[in-house]
A and B are shown apart, each in its own frame.
Chain A
């Protein structure tokens, strides 16, 4: 039997290493890797619309070539700030092989941990305007009316934003993986 999940609680910051939010940091694992630099931001809110200032967001993504851990270390972690915001600096991932002969649109997986979450939530950030979004095999499983909660918008060139709503109106689609 697998080990049960427990909440990360409000005091997980002992394992917060703020530099991990910058996947392109000097001297880091991706220093010098070529690609399209982007920032991914968002605000985490609860069912009352109140911001969650104590969440831990982890990301996992492919490199610009669409491969995992082949020249690009696609892991990051960021604490939400007092305004509930997270911010990652990374490279835009390439399309990733999907089930069968399908191709997944470029995406970044997010895992959300927080006080009050008995186990972490998983979701994805896709990129608005990407042609492959129309044929992505995972997006196709999400009811069309809720798909927008998985699509990051480009707020300014290279700056993508995707807010995470844990509960209620426009609740983010979470994935059962």
Chain B
């Protein structure tokens, strides 16, 4: 078994002139292509007993975080549309004011003692997941003059193979900063739009929170004669 190669035209380039931090960090040499071995096709087994779920970032220690409560839900499938059960999603984000609950974030915006900014959720048998959080704020960064990150939520996915490991970011529809953001714009057209969540009335909970849908797709398996006997 192995996973399909990453198709061209989906991932951003490692060397992205508009994003200053890539200049000295992108490798000069092309990576060495290797066949998938057990090392790449296996993956850590994460379970909710050893890695407890934390589904609601909108409250912390029983107190409500500041900001607009939202629900984000989605489905994880592979390239062949197969639902991916048991995927561990790690989620992290800034608070409603655009500041991370970290000493190393020195942006002059208020911290919220009732917002930790970290969640963990596992996909169910159909690949579905859902969390509750606060709509994060935009924040400035020093990439270029007057640079601001669009509103975003970070996602890390642990699938059934180490080769499927994915870290990405989810954006919000209608954000004017998307057109100006090198990190978002670094993803080829046609792929980047799928990093933008969709407002979804079916995810929205009446009298409680707006809902957004964010579906993600992991690499599929290469069919082999063993798996598809004639």
Residues of A in contact with B (beta carbons under 8 Å apart): 1-15, 29, 46-48, 50, 52, 54, 58, 60, 62, 68-69, 73-75, 96-99, 104, 107, 109, 111, 113-122, 124, 137-138, 141-142, 146, 166-168, 171-177
Contact of B195 among A3, A13, A50, A138 (CB under 8 A): A3
Q: Are B187 and A4 in contact (CB under 8 A)?
A: yes
With a CB–CB cut-off of 8 A, which chain A residues contact B50? Answer: 29, 73
B222 at the interface (CB under 8 A from A): no
Question: Which chain A residue lies CB-closest to B19?
Answer: A116
Contact of B167 among A5, A54, A62, A116 (CB under 8 A): A5
Contact of B104 among A5, A11, A107 (CB under 8 A): A11
Contact of A119 among B11, B23, B24 (CB under 8 A): B11
With a CB–CB cut-off of 8 A, which chain B residues contact A4? Answer: 10-12, 168, 187-188, 191-192, 194-195
Question: Which chain B residue lies CB-closest to A13?
Answer: B102
> In the complex, A24 Cα to B46 Cα: how many Å?
16
> In the complex, A4 Cα to B27 Cα: how many Å?
19
Q: Which chain B residues (1-33) contact chain A, with CB distance < 8 Å?
A: 6-7, 10-14, 16, 19-33
Question: Which chain A residue lies CB-closest to B25?
Answer: A116
Q: Are B26 and A116 in contact (CB under 8 A)?
A: yes
Q: Are A114 and B25 in contact (CB under 8 A)?
A: yes
* A-contact bits for B198-218, CB 8 A (1 contact / 0 none): 000000000000000000111
23 contacts between A and B (CB under 8 A): A1-B191, A3-B166, A4-B10, A4-B187, A6-B168, A11-B102, A11-B105, A14-B101, A14-B118, A15-B156, A48-B24, A62-B39, A68-B39, A98-B38, A116-B22, A117-B26, A118-B14, A122-B31, A137-B37, A141-B33, A141-B34, A146-B29, A175-B31
B169 at the interface (CB under 8 A from A): yes
> In the complex, A54 Cα to B100 Cα: how many Å?
15
Minimum CB–CB distance from B147 to chain A (whole Å) comes to 13
Contact of A60 among B44, B168, B188 (CB under 8 A): B44
* A-contact bits for B141-177, CB 8 A (1 contact / 0 none): 0000000000000101000001101111100000000
B82 at the interface (CB under 8 A from A): no
With a CB–CB cut-off of 8 A, which chain A residues contact B116? Answer: 14
Interface size (B, Cβ < 8 Å)? 72
Q: Label chain B's interface by main secondary structure.
A: loop
Q: Are A74 and B25 in contact (CB under 8 A)?
A: no
> In the complex, A177 Cα to B188 Cα: how many Å?
21
Residues of B in contact with A (beta carbons under 8 Å apart): 6-7, 10-14, 16, 19-40, 42-46, 50, 79, 90, 92-94, 100-102, 104-105, 116-118, 154, 156, 162-163, 165-169, 183-184, 186-188, 190-192, 194-195, 216-219
Q: Are B24 and A46 in contact (CB under 8 A)?
A: yes
Q: Are B44 and A5 in contact (CB under 8 A)?
A: no
Question: Which chain B residue lies CB-closest to A116?
Answer: B21
With a CB–CB cut-off of 8 A, which chain B residues contact A54? Answer: 104
Q: Are A118 and B12 in contact (CB under 8 A)?
A: yes
Question: Which chain A residue lies CB-closest to B100?
Answer: A11
Q: Are B102 and A6 in contact (CB under 8 A)?
A: no
Question: Which chain A residue lies CB-closest to B93?
Answer: A14
> In the complex, A111 Cα to B218 Cα: how many Å?
17
- Most chain A CB within 10 A, of B24, B42, B154, is at B24
Question: Which chain B residue lies CB-closest to A2?
Answer: B217
> In the complex, A176 Cα to B40 Cα: how many Å?
11
